[in-house]
Each structure stands twice: as structure tokens, then as C-alpha cells.
Structure 1
Amino acid sequence: MCTEPPQAAPSAAAATDLTLTPPDLDDLIELHAIYSDPRVWTHFPYARHTDESQTAELIRVWRRSWQEHGLGPWIVRDPQSGAMLGHGGCAVRGGFCWNLGYRFAAEAHGRGYATQVARAGTSAARAVRPELPVIAYLLEHNRASARVAEKAGLLLRHRGPDAGNPDPDAVRLIFADRELSREQVAQALA
């Protein structure tokens, strides 16, 4: 069993009216229900989880981020009901940047939760390791995620083919809170 990860800085969690907590393997069943739902994978269908072991590994990766960097994605819950809405926040990617990401249950889409969590995650990442750029890595046809990245203060820094995507017409966008070097873009695309 993993040791308990450190909690997020109070100011990061206070930036939203949602309940944000580090992930735990106790979250597996609820998180897998979200990750296995095809309705939340319309922009990236081949990444949908088909086995709980995939989701368990994701939780382990997030917990390592909390242990190694003092920050990682949060489990997002409704403060009144305690129901899991999804996850979101920032984790260090490849040692060179904070990667902003989130995924919410289909029933939670369109309610502004992603924007709240993206802003809280970006703020927390800047507080923990301000020297690292914050990026959002997404597909061009996912306009909702692009709007969330912009609302979190990120700007489009790269647009190009999405190498390795089964859809040969897929276009990858990288939003960031600062200019990125060619090397940083290459690392993000690797």
C-alpha cells in the first residue's frame, strides 16, 4: 500500500467550491466508472479504460506525483453529496513541465468544473515549482478543452500533427503559460 501523499496547499483547494483530494486506491471503482464510459472519450476513444487494472495504475502514477513533487491530480467531488465528479489538476510530465489534465463524468460536463479545477491546478503548480511551464496537451477538435486551457491562462504555443494517433488527420495542440523552446515542444510531443 502507498504511503499517504501530502495534501495540496490550502490556497489551491480554496480556489474552488469543489472538494479536491489526492487520489487513493479506494477511489478505484468510481474513477473506473468514469474512465470506462465511452461518453467521456469522444475526443480520444482509443484511450478509454477497459480494465480496472488500467485505472489502478493511473491512480498509482498520480500518487507518485504527489509523493515526488508535492502535487498531482485531485479527485473531484461534489461537496454536498460527496459524489465523484471526476479528477483534475497538474502533474509533472517528463521532468520538464506541469501537465494540466482532467476528466469528468458525462453528467458533470458543461457545469464549469473543469475550469475551476484547471485554475486551481495551475495556481498550485506555479506555487510548488514555478520554474516549470504549465501545459495543456489536447486534440484540436476538442474545443471545450481548448476553452478551459484559455480560461486557466494558457495560450496556444504549438499546433501540428498528432504522431502515433490512429486518426491520421488528428492535430495536436499545446497550450502553455509561457513560450516553449523547440526542445520543450519536442519533449511534450514525445
Structure 2
Amino acid sequence: MTSPHAHLRTERLDLRAVSYDDLAPMYELHADPEGWHHFPAGRHTEIGTTRAFLELVVDGWRADGLSYWTVRPRDAETVIGLGGVRRLPDGTWNLAYRFATSARGHGYAQEVARAGLAAAGEVDPAQPVVAWIDETNPASVRVAERIGLAYQGKRTNADGTLMLVYADRPLPAEPSGTA
């Protein structure tokens, strides 16, 4: 059964469920050092890291009917980013957006984040949507605030990193999560 969220179109973007066929463009996106100024340790230096990441994302589509999308301009086939929501082990939806350097500054992150927020609300509105953001990443903070997420304070994620947390509703004292 195909999820109704597996292929969406926004005003300017084509959002498609991440699949194993996306390994090459996802590796290129996640291996680009320009995309990891705020969290250099997150950069994928081996394609196996990207493959393992794709397994989590594809499993999310199977389990929940919703996970991250590849992002393309509506008029092109080139993957320019990744975004949307993926369920974490604690049940919350993790909001993420990562774009190629050439695609930044066009408001695409807000567009895909809004689509992810809406899709999470349709699939499982009982669970909060949470964005875990490195405190040195003001652009990500602006995206979270512009789509209506509220600052929940600093919390430690599942990897043990202290992060800024934004969510669509008040959160319990100390959720765990990971991107």
C-alpha cells in the first residue's frame, strides 16, 4: 500500500519518499563539507553511513507511512535536499531539513518543513513535531520559528549532544531524540 504522503507537491517543490534509489544523491548531500559547518561530526565520509541512514528513513515509510522526502524543484529531477518528519523511538516526529549549498536561501526549508508538519498532523496528531537544532545554526532556528514551532529549551539528544529544542506544543520534561 502506498502512503498518500509518499509524493507531494508544494508551490515550488516536488517531495518524494526517500528510497534506496536515492543513495547517490543522498550521499552527495550528506558528504558535502559545506553543509556541516554547525555539526562537522555529522558529515557522511563513507557511503555506508548514508546507506544506514536510508535504512532508517525507508523503514519509517514502511512503519508509519511517513518519513523524510527527497526534495526536487517542481520543474527538475535534480535532488536539492532532504526534509520532512521521521518518527523517533520515543514516538515524536523529528523535523529535519538539509539542502545543497546551491539551494539555500530560497525558503525551501520552510516549504518542506510546513509540509512535514502538516503530514505529521494527518498521520499521528497525538505526537509532537520536534526540531533538534545546534545552537550555532541560526538559519535553522529561523525556519523552526517561522513555521510556528516554540522554543522548549536546551536538551540532550540521544547522541548526548546538547541541542536547542523547538516543538509544535509543550514537551514533557526531557524527551530523547536524534536526527
Alignment-derived partner of residue 181 in structure 1: 172
Q: How does 1:72-111 map to 2 (within 5 A)?
A: 72-111=67-106
Kept in 1: contact 2:128–2:167 (CA 8 A): yes
Shift of 1:120: 0.3
1:9 to partner: Cα distance: 6.7
Distance 1:24 1:164 in 2: 29
Map 1:40-189 → 2, pairs under 5 A: 40-159=35-154, 164-165=160-161, 172-182=163-173, 185-188=174-177
- C-alpha distance in 2 between matches for 1:127 and 1:9: 13
8 Å CA contact 1:35, 1:49 repeated in 2: yes
Taking structure 1 as reference, are residues 5 and 137 closer, same or farther at Cα in structure 2, changes over 3 Å only? farther
Aligned equivalents of 1:145 and 1:19: distance in 2?
21
Deviation at 1:78, TM superposition (A): 1.6
Structure 1 pair 5–29 and aligned structure 2 pair: CA distance change class (3 A): farther
The answer to which structure has the higher helix fraction is 1
Which structure has the greater CA radius of gyration?
1
Residues in 1 aligned to 2:91 and 2:151: alpha-carbon distance in whole angstroms: 18
Give unpaired runs (5+ residues) of structure 2: none
Alignment-derived partner of residue 168 in structure 1: none
One-letter amino acid matched to 1:175 = Y
Q: Which residue of 1 aligns with 2:5?
A: 8
Number of paired residues?
Answer: 177
When the two chains are superposed, the root-mean-square deviation of aligned CA atoms in Å is: 2.0
User: What TM-score do the two structures reach when normalised by structure 1?
Assistant: 0.86
Percent of aligned positions with the same letter in both sequences? 37
- Mean Cα displacement is larger for which, 93-102 or 137-146? 93-102
TM-score scaled by structure 2?
Answer: 0.91
CA contact (8 A) 1:156 1:175 kept: yes
**5+ residue gaps, structure 1:** 166-170
Cα shift readout 1:29-52 (whole Å, capped 9, x = no counterpart):
111111100000010001100111
